Every structure is written in C-alpha cells, then in structure tokens.
Amino acid sequence: MLTMATADDTRAVGRRLGERLGAGDLVVLAGGLGAGKTTMTQGIGEGLGIRGPVTSPTFVIARAHPSLVGGAALVHVDAYRLGGSAELDDLDLDTDLTQSVTIVEWGSGLVEELSPDRLELTLTADPATESRTLDLVGRGRWAERVDELVAHLEGR
C-alpha cells in the first residue's frame, strides 16, 4: 500500500505507473467519489506520453487518447453509469485492448472477463486531508510483478 499526500503526488505515482504500462495492459480503478481515480489516470497518461487532457469520461463513457511518442494509446473508460456487462460489451473494449492501455474506472465486477492479466488499483481518500492510499493487486502475469512495480512507484 502506498500513501500519497497530495493530488500532485497521486499524479506522480500515476506517471511512474504509466512508464511501466504498454499495449494490452488493463488497469481497473476502484474507489469512492473524489478518491483520485481520474487524477491517477492523468498521471498514467503523462507517463505514456499521450495527447490530452485526460478528464473524467463520466458522460461520454469512454475516451481514446493517442500516443504522441509512438507508444500505446490510452483508452479511458468510466463504467459508473453502465448498466452491466452487456453495455460494456457494446464499447468493444476487447478490440482496443491489444493495442492500447485500457483504464476502467468503476470497472470491478464488469471487466474481469476482458483479460486475466490486469492491475486492480483501489484508491482511498482520507476525508480529513488530501492524502490518498493506493492498494495494488496484480492478476495473471502482473501477480508476480507487483512488488517490483510498487518499488518503482515509490521511487526506489
């Protein structure tokens, strides 16, 4: 578990995570309203070198951000308003998955069938401060790489 004191720290951790992600990677972001999911995604976008700005796709459901550096694009999805897996299927995320880094906010319970290899990130905000904690769980090929990833995110 990582602790980030400010939104800028959350963005910086996201940037370091983005440096480690590539085409085919699926990231599932969980956390309450205001926990920092979009802020984390902004940092990931910076680390990937994508065209931005990254904003919450709550009302458009999904946004694609092409790479500016010849790397993977970012597909940013907000599944909060989706009624279930059938609506998620309509987005054709599995088509983009092999060519992009796909981040799904509020995707727990909906996207697990997209890939057995995924990072599950849970952000928790402390209501008394701007601080947030990040819990990472790796599934599939990420399971054995989580410790190394956490060390990188901590700047070690």
Give the CATH number of the domain where residue 37 resides.
3.40.50.300
Helix spans in 21-145 (H): 37-48, 85-89, 93-97
pLDDT tens digit at each of 156 positions of the chain:
899 999 999 999 999 999 999 999 999 999 998 899 999 999 999 999 998 788 776 655 677 888 999 999 998 888 766 555 545 555 555 556 678 899 988 777 777 777 889 999 999 999 898 899 999 999 999 999 998 998 888 876
Number of structural domains in the chain: 1
Tokens at residue 21, please?
A: 């992600």
What is the pTM (predicted TM-score) of this model? 0.88
Task: Determine contact, residues 23/98, Cβ cutoff 8 Å.
Answer: yes
Beta strands 73-78; 62-65: pairing state: antiparallel
Domain of 9, in residue numbers: 2-153
